[in-house]
Amino acid sequence: MFTDLITRILPKIICRLLYRESYQFGFLIHPRDTIDLIKRFSWVRFLPKKIVLIFLRFMWPVTISEINGLVDINGKKLKGIIIATPLSPKQMMENRNLAKRKIISAIRFAKKRGVKLVGLGGLTSSLTRGGIDILPFVDVKITTGHACTVYSVSKNVLQVIETFEFKKEQVVLGIVGGAGSIGSNTAKYLVKQGIKNLILLDLTRKQDQLRKIYHELKKINQGCDIQISDNLNKLKDANIIVAATNAPEAVIKYEYLRGGTIIVNDAQPSDVDPDIILNKDDILVIEGGLLRAPYLYYNFNFRLQNKKDIFSCLAEVLVLAYLNKWNENFNVGRLRLENINLIENTLPLINLSISEFQNIDRIISLDEIDQIKKINKKHGSN
């Protein structure tokens, strides 16, 4: 922690002399809750929550772990670094200017450690409008991870359709956060894959954006049945739900759902009430934005069920580093669908694949899958 503080103060040329290791790529994270803090700083457990929040408010960006195991397209070994922006989700949402300053500070710190490319994890993307707001203040390249996230979430939905024996032309897909970059582009990707029935949900103030997305989806497939709404009770009509908001707290409650629903949860922090995951056996929650990276080594607990799993926004950084794409921003602002194609084509080249069904509590068992299948057959949903 104190070495990181000194690094922020010292000139870049001195930092290069001090550190033997230089990193090519970086990944920004932030604590999702106090559990994340305790995982890294065990002494936090002894402090009152109010003191912890004050500590975060004045804390500087800190190095969490190195990332090793990646080689580029020419066989050169690459090293990465995970950096934490020390604010809670609630603090970031309530004070966006402070959050932006912290994010800029973290990227500048990464630059001093030699980083050429930074991936924005968690809320660091949405709070900077996909990186647009910080571009004038940093001189490294940025990516949001959105292309890889859209790909992995969409593939999870398609796997759910196959595993639970839904009919692609009949299944009803609800997307919470449908006006956002992840939600809207997941809808576009899946409509191209043959999904025809969608419910796009977002805040009242974002209904105009949903109407624009509605027309864009109709251009892809005029025969789609698309509903837009700000009423989460509409989720009762969905067989599968994609959760993709930037809300700091859970927005999907049990009372909005019907038995047999499968939720593909991409939001970090989670959009889904933990009570659903832990105590409701008629609803299945799957983490949507995960990939398996068997060759990667890092000393950090992402709180995933398999140590070789990573979040898709980190996977996007790995793809770009592998391809030596150091000289341009990737997925800043509006996501381009051709970027999803690039990610999809490159992932197999670096041995990244979609992770097995899991959530924050467990690997999803065959018994759980069979139970949800039975509920849906009883309802006539598949």
Please tell me the predicted confidence (pLDDT) of residue 344: 94
Reported as half-sphere exposure (CB side, CA atoms, 13 A), residue 260 has a value of 21
C-alpha distances (whole Å) from 31 to each of 92, 177, 186 are 11, 21, 26
Q: How does DSSP assign 93-139, residue by residue?
A: HH-HHHHHHHHHHHHHHHHHTT--EEEE-GGGTGGGTTTGGGGGG--
pLDDT band, residue 53 (cuts 50/70/90): confident
Judge if 132 and 155 occupy the same domain. Answer: no
Please tell me the predicted confidence (pLDDT) of residue 159: 96
Query: ω into residue 269 within 30 of 0, thus cis?
Result: yes
- Mean pLDDT for 2-26 is 74
Judge if 156 and 129 occupy the same domain. Answer: no
Sign, Cα dihedral of 164, 152, 246, 311: positive
Judge if 22 and 133 occupy the same domain. Answer: yes
Q: 200 in a domain, yes or no?
A: yes
CA angle 159/244/62 to nearest 5° reads 110
Q: 184 in a domain, yes or no?
A: yes
Judge if 370 and 252 occupy the same domain. Answer: yes
Residue 101 and residue 318: Cα distance in Å, rounded?
25
pLDDT digits (tens, 9 = 90+) for 271-312: 899 899 888 999 999 999 899 999 999 988 788 888 899 999
Domain boundary, last residue among 107, 126, 143: 143
Strand partners, 285: 263
| Per-residue pLDDT at 382 exceeds 70 | no
Full residue range of the structural domain in which residue 111 is found: 2-143
Judge if 190 and 266 occupy the same domain. Answer: yes
β-pairing, 117-120 vs 25-29, is: parallel
Residue 357 and residue 3: Cα distance in Å, rounded?
39
| SS3 of residue 27 by DSSP | strand
Residue 284 and residue 370: Cα distance in Å, rounded?
11
Q: For residue 182, what is the domain's CATH number?
A: 3.40.50.720
Judge if 133 and 153 occupy the same domain. Answer: no
Judge if 113 and 218 occupy the same domain. Answer: no
- Contacts of residues 157-164 at CB distance under 8 Å and 24 or more positions apart, as own/partner, are 157/186, 157/190, 157/195, 157/240, 157/242, 157/264, 157/288, 158/190, 158/193, 159/354, 159/357, 160/240, 160/262, 160/264, 160/286, 161/240, 163/357, 163/369, 164/262, 164/369, 164/372, 164/373, 164/376, 164/382
Sign, Cα dihedral of 339, 344, 345, 350: positive
Q: 323 in a domain, yes or no?
A: no
Q: What percent of the chain has pLDDT over 90?
A: 64
pLDDT digits (tens, 9 = 90+) for 216-245: 999 999 999 999 999 999 999 999 999 998
Judge if 228 and 365 occupy the same domain. Answer: yes
Helix orientation angle between 181-192 and 337-346, rounded to the nearest 10 degrees: 70
Sign, Cα dihedral of 237, 241, 245, 248: positive
For residues 266 and 183, the answer to whether their CB atoms sit within 8 Å is no
Helix orientation angle between 181-192 and 146-163, rounded to the nearest 10 degrees: 50
pLDDT digits (tens, 9 = 90+) for 328-367: 899 898 888 889 999 999 999 999 999 999 988 789 999 9
CA angle 320/318/100 to nearest 5° reads 80
Residue 155 and residue 175: Cα distance in Å, rounded?
15
Judge if 136 and 198 occupy the same domain. Answer: no
Q: 56 in a domain, yes or no?
A: yes
Please tell me the predicted confidence (pLDDT) of residue 333: 83
Judge if 96 and 227 occupy the same domain. Answer: no
Please tell me the predicted confidence (pLDDT) of residue 300: 82
Number of domains composing the chain? 2
Q: For residue 14, what is the domain's CATH number?
A: 3.40.50
Judge if 133 and 154 occupy the same domain. Answer: no
Please tell me the predicted confidence (pLDDT) of residue 203: 93
Q: What is the pTM of this model?
A: 0.90
Helices (H), the chain: 2-9, 12-18, 34-40, 49-58, 89-94, 96-112, 146-163, 181-192, 207-220, 274-279, 312-322, 337-346, 366-379
Please tell me the predicted confidence (pLDDT) of residue 48: 78
Q: 315 in a domain, yes or no?
A: no
Q: How many residues comprise the chain?
A: 382
Please tell me the predicted confidence (pLDDT) of residue 75: 94
| Per-residue pLDDT at 90 exceeds 90 | no
Judge if 32 and 7 occupy the same domain. Answer: yes
Q: 9 in a domain, yes or no?
A: yes
Residue 15 and residue 8: Cα distance in Å, rounded?
9
Find tokens 């139970």 and name the residue: 371
Residue 229 and residue 238: Cα distance in Å, rounded?
13
Domain boundary, last residue among 111, 143, 175: 143
Residue 241 and residue 177: Cα distance in Å, rounded?
11
C-alpha distances (whole Å) from 153 to each of 241, 311, 361 are 11, 11, 19
Please tell me the predicted confidence (pLDDT) of residue 20: 64
Q: How many CB atoms lie within 10 A of CB 190?
A: 27
| SS3 of residue 334 by DSSP | coil
Q: 296 in a domain, yes or no?
A: no
Q: How many CB atoms lie within 10 A of CB 77?
A: 10
Domain boundary, last residue among 85, 110, 143: 143
Q: 166 in a domain, yes or no?
A: yes
